[in-house]
């Protein structure tokens, strides 16, 4: 049975961010993820997580100035110092939460630009080597161009090739089914092919990015497929609830209270 992680950036928005840990636990989740913890004291994040008996499945490394439109800087050659600093910033949060995987964002750049490509390989390698002694994986997530125009990492095949080429044991793929369906389709076959390099999975309905209970994909089939493939990681619920979060959790009822 998949282990679902509530995404506290998108879900439980009825309450302030720090109160969403308790809300998720009360709804039956045993794990959580979120985009960024950096606006909150590291001790407070750890306290809310552990105080509610939750496991931290994932969060993102600092992306730069998110409000100004930055989406990371791993592929930006002139931002390597910022990249290095971002790893140092994230480390205390990783220690406090015990998270085992962190998402490194590529940034807005042209994938065909050799300088951006070289910067991305260098940043990815540096980040993975930085976190390896801490037992933490670095995950790369292709994003679709409708949600994030001009994002460097916009192709699952490209991400797969780079991960396989670099052969860094703690470098993995973040397989967001929502993005995969929009970018390429054929989700089941891609899951089967990319499972050996997949370190995290995320879900939402397509195209609306709401609860995974309607629209283009048959999620119960995909959840069973993850089990058939022996996927032992987390499935992040990265969706915008249609209304009140708890009113939209009927899909989750069969899975509530899974092992952490």
Ligand X SMILES: O=C(O)C(=O)[C@@H](O)CO
Instruction: Work out which of 18, 27, 35, 168 binds ligand X, going by CB under 6 A.
Output: 35
Instruction: Write the binding mask 172 to 211 for ligand X: x where contact by CB under 6 A, - elsewhere.
Output: ----x--x----------------------x---------
Whichever of 3 and 179 has its CB closer to ligand X, that residue is 179
The residues in 50-89 that bind ligand X, with binding defined as CB under 6 A, are 60
Whichever of 64 and 142 has its CB closer to Mg ion, that residue is 142
When asked if residue 141 is in the footprint of ligand X (CB under 6 A), the reply is yes
Whichever of 74 and 143 has its CB closer to ligand X, that residue is 143
Positions in the binding site for Mg ion (CB under 5 A):
176, 202, 238
Q: What is the number of the residue whose Cβ is closest to ligand X?
A: 176
Catalytic residue numbers read: 141, 238
Binders of ligand X: how many residues, by CB under 6 A?
9
Cα–Cα distance between 225 and 190 in angstroms, integer? 12
């Amino acid at each position: 049975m998949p282990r679902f992680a509530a995404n506290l950036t998108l879900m439980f928005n009825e309450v302030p961010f720090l109160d969403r840990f308790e809300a998720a636990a009360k709804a039956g989740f045993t794990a959580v993820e979120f985009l960024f913890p950096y606006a909150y004291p590291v001790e407070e994040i750890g306290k809310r997580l552990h105080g509610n008996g939750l496991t931290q499945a994932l969060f993102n490394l600092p992306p730069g100035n998110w409000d100004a439109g930055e989406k990371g800087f791993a592929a930006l050659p002139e931002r390597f110092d910022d990249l290095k600093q971002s790893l140092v910033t994230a480390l205390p949060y990783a220690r406090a939460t015990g998270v085992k995987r962190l998402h490194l964002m590529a940034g807005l750049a042209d994938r065909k630009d050799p300088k951006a490509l070289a910067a991305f390989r260098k940043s990815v390698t540096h980040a993975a080597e930085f976190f390896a002694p801490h037992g933490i994986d670095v995950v790369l997530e292709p994003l679709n161009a409708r949600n994030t125009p001009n994002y460097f990492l916009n192709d699952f095949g490209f991400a797969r090739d780079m991960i396989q080429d670099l052969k860094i044991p703690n470098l993995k793929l973040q397989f967001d089914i929502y993005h995969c369906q929009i970018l390429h389709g054929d989700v089941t076959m891609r899951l089967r092919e990319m499972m050996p390099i997949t370190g995290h999975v995320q879900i939402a309905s397509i195209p609306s990015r709401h609860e995974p209970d309607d629209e283009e994909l048959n999620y119960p089939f995909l959840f069973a497929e993850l089990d058939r493939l022996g996927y032992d990681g987390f499935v992040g619920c990265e969706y915008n609830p249609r209304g009140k979060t708890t009113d939209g959790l009927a899909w989750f009822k069969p899975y509530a209270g899974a092992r952490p």
